[in-house]
Structure 1
Amino acid sequence: MTEPLMSAPKPKETTTMARRRRIVAGLAAALAAGVTSVAPVGATPSPVNVGGGGATFLANMMDVCRALYNSNTASNPGKDVVTYASVGSGSGKSGFRTGTYDFGGTESAYGATETKPSNFVYVPLVGGPIAIGYRIDGTAPAGAQIKLTGELVAKIFAAQITNWNDPAIAAVNKATAVALKASVAANGVTVKSTVRGTNVTFTATMTPAALKRFKGKKITVTPVTDGTAGTPVMDAGARKSVTKLVILAEKTSYEVKAGTRVIGTLVPKAYTLGVNVTFPSLQIKVAYRQGNSGTTNNFANYLNKEFPTIWTKATSDAFTTAFPGTMPTDGTFQAAQGNDGVSNQVRDNNGTVTYAELSFLTERNISYAKVSNAVGKYVAPSPESSAKNLAAADVATDGVTTLNYKATDAASYPINAISYGLASTAASAKATAVKSYFTYFLNKCAPTQAAPTGYTALTGEILTKALAQVAKIGAG
């Protein structure tokens, strides 16, 4: 299924960088002026300076959370000061191991051949989509948001597709008719849709076996428009039969679930999505991460696991190591430092494509592609579509998360990463301060600040495991 024409995508918060800078600058000014809340009665511990460093992927989120924490005397009564150096996951892991940083930031675990620090834990802190950012001047219609299958992404970054007017790219960027599908059924659950005028009636029925199987679960019908899931229009407890009348949304499919199990996708009214996009004859240039990068590790892992005949090597923090075959030497592949560096490369150079955390693209007004997921839906990266994917991830007892590239949620964006904090379990004042900050990050900052900043707050099993890991920090 293809999607309707969109102008170059705008983030929900189009001034992410300005907003982040206002938070950081405003709080710094308040601290300088002595504007803080009243300190608790009694002696307070001496402030601890906590220096972290590592992944650029989470740097925008880290900037917001540490600024808020540094000024929050309720969560930070000792007035500890947290700093963070955005130097990349590889430097974060090595710097934490050598003691350069009190905590590290990374999207990749220590490799089998890497020297690991002793007595440390991984703490999942925040998630987010790895977006495919691009600049293509001259598409018609102008500003059309492009769509890419995962295979096309793999081939573009493997230098197997080298021009934006390649027929394979054009083939998926065409208008498509979405056929009527008035009924779906699975696992003893049947949901039918009946359209009358501008309304649609959904009727769900369940067999006795299904009633038993899904006892205590909800039957939900959720609209999905332009790859984005809305609020469920039906959210009913399991029963033999239930009916719901709602206004029919145009050019919308409806995902049906019993509990967490997908029953199918309804199309109450056939429609046409998208337009035919014409691409200019323009050489593709790839901006990739210089050095060791957790963003690269997660991106290359997706490519290798999903398209092993194209990306034939196991993932690595280094793009040049993970790259299949020989890296091009004609100047079409250019390395840049950090998520900000590759994003700047795209912004400034027509024909360039990269992989980066979403917030770095949105704050520069860089276009990004919709990417097909495991069920063939083209989905734009967002905090919400990333959350759909992370909900299907597997979390080990040590906090390291294995992402599920086969997630069946129709609104799931397929390429994501989890950012981890690295912290010591040895007892010390520094460890106590890190523990306090990570607790604040997970429980207070991320739930309110992640989505506006372009990230995905952790919930459910991942959050539970993350907090269990936090409890080990400084425990001795």
Structure 2
Amino acid sequence: MKLQRNGRSKALVVGAMALVSSLSLAACGSDDNTGGAGAAGTSAPAAAAIACGKAGALVAAGSTAQGNAIDVWKTNFGNACAGSSVNYSGGGSGAGVQQFTQGKVQFAGSDSALKPAEVDATKAVCTGGQGINLPMVAGLISIVFNVDGVDKLTLDGPTTAKIFDSQITKWNDPAIAALNPGVTLPAADIQAFHRSDDSGTTDNLTKYFAKASGGAWSYPSSKTWAGKGGQSASGSAGLAAQVKQVKNSISYVELSFAQTNSLKSAAINTGASKPVEATADNAATTFAKAKIAGTGSDLALTLDYATKEEGSYPLVLVTYEIVCDKGNKADTLETLKSFLTYAASDNGQKAIGSTGYVPLPKELASKVQAVIPTLA
């Protein structure tokens, strides 16, 4: 991988927080009950069959943050529904939205809701309709680190923003030391990694900086990285790999990638009585306060990146599946609705819960489930 250096209320209750370690899906029209998510040495509980409908092949692209979730879902869906498949390529949220507006994919994954100009662009491929945002994968952004001799690290908004903008360049900088009393920090250069591709994860991180850095981040929030210095890599998997390999490094990835790569995650000092750990439970507390900002069948959310509530992790993100409300391709519409129905179901959300994601709060999941049958 080439490295590049550049200069640039509680209404949404957390009832879905039960995580499962295994899942088996009864096949549609077959005896194949392999779900691909069962833990070795355990017997998976029976689960309701997926309503498969007409077999078809879906092509999708976009967010790498939801990549591990899609892997679980497409395996279970393919096992259950003979002749149906989901071919999902990452490339980042920006690339996914672009491919959607070009009519190349049936749905796109984006960690940022469509902007007005992007909605207008979707009308060319959504005949008689437009693209809408369906929140499907809830998660959190871990600030992952690999620092010599450091097992636990606390950061806050201003300090993290300054690290990623090369304003803080040493691990023993007084600002980091003040947040980590008793921790021996090395006098080593900070190796900061950011996304090289247009990324919804970057967009959410910089939205957090805009709200919580006290002005330390001087750039507008964006999918495109604007900070000074640092090194870049493609996708969440690329960033995770670099942090795992490079000493004294730091980056930002979805919690699932932190877990699968055994990376340490920093706690965040939000101003609450104690730093908030990067856990699914703490992210769920933040999602419980999320509000729907979209109208009609569009379910874009407003998230509180500046929360100071006890146990509320501020660096959260939602991956939306971008679909046409009307004007979907007739030959794949039934398969699309079947796959999305499974993904939004209790079984679908539980299946990804054990891989570092946060099951959607039940009220929000119900709203998503109500929209999917109306797609045309």
Q: 2:90 aligns with which of 83, 86, 91?
A: 86
Asked if the contact 1:374–1:405 (Cα under 8 Å) also holds between the matched residues in 2, the reply is no
Asked if the contact 1:130–1:355 (Cα under 8 Å) also holds between the matched residues in 2, the reply is yes
Counterpart for residue 57 of structure 1: 65
| Corresponding letter in the other structure for 2:177 | A
* CA distance, structure 1, for counterparts of residue 340 and residue 54 of structure 2: 19
| Corresponding letter in the other structure for 2:232 | A
Q: Deviations over 1:245-264 (max 9, x none)?
A: xxxxxxxxxxxxxxxxxxxx
| Corresponding letter in the other structure for 2:57 | N
Q: Deviations over 1:134-181 (max 9, x none)?
A: 110134xxxx3111122211211121111001122111212xxxxxxx
Counterpart for residue 303 of structure 1: 209
Cα deviation, residue 464, structure 1? 3.2
Q: 1:467 aligns with which of 338, 351, 369?
A: 369
Cα deviation, residue 58, structure 1? 0.3
Counterpart for residue 236 of structure 1: none
Change (3 A) 1:406 1:374: farther
Asked if the contact 2:159–2:213 (Cα under 8 Å) also holds between the matched residues in 1, the reply is no
Pairwise CA RMSD of aligned residues? 2.5
Cα deviation, residue 46, structure 1? 5.0
5 Å-filtered alignment, 1:234-245, equals none
Asked if the contact 2:197–2:235 (Cα under 8 Å) also holds between the matched residues in 1, the reply is no
Aligned: 1:419 with 2:327: no
Asked if the contact 1:288–1:355 (Cα under 8 Å) also holds between the matched residues in 2, the reply is yes
Change (3 A) 1:383 1:473: same
Change (3 A) 1:429 1:376: farther
Counterpart for residue 36 of structure 1: 32
5 Å-filtered alignment, 1:163-174, equals 163-174=170-181
* CA distance, structure 1, for counterparts of residue 186 and residue 214 of structure 2: 30
TM-score normalised by the chain length of structure 2: 0.80
* CA distance, structure 2, for counterparts of residue 157 and residue 371 of structure 1: 15
TM-score normalised by the chain length of structure 1: 0.64
Q: Which SS does the other structure have where 2:247 is aligned?
A: coil
Aligned: 1:127 with 2:33: no
* CA distance, structure 1, for counterparts of residue 208 and residue 53 of structure 2: 46
Aligned: 1:370 with 2:271: no
List alignment gaps of at least 5 residues for structure 2: 1-18, 34-51, 124-129
Q: Looking at CA atoms only, which structure, 1 or 2, has the larger radius of gyration?
A: 1
Q: Which SS does the other structure have where 2:268 is aligned?
A: strand
* CA distance, structure 2, for counterparts of residue 45 and residue 457 of structure 1: 25
Cα deviation, residue 467, structure 1? 2.4
| Corresponding letter in the other structure for 1:340 | A
5 Å-filtered alignment, 1:106-185, equals 106-114=110-118, 116-118=121-123, 119-139=130-150, 144-174=151-181
Higher strand share: 1
Asked if the contact 1:395–1:461 (Cα under 8 Å) also holds between the matched residues in 2, the reply is no
* CA distance, structure 2, for counterparts of residue 112 and residue 435 of structure 1: 25
5 Å-filtered alignment, 1:434-453, equals 434-453=336-355
Asked if the contact 2:202–2:223 (Cα under 8 Å) also holds between the matched residues in 1, the reply is yes
* CA distance, structure 2, for counterparts of residue 445 and residue 98 of structure 1: 32
Asked if the contact 1:131–1:369 (Cα under 8 Å) also holds between the matched residues in 2, the reply is yes
Q: What percentage of aligned pairs have identical amino acids?
A: 30
List alignment gaps of at least 5 residues for structure 1: 1-12, 14-18, 38-43, 175-275
Q: Deviations over 1:299-320 (max 9, x none)?
A: 0111012225111222111012
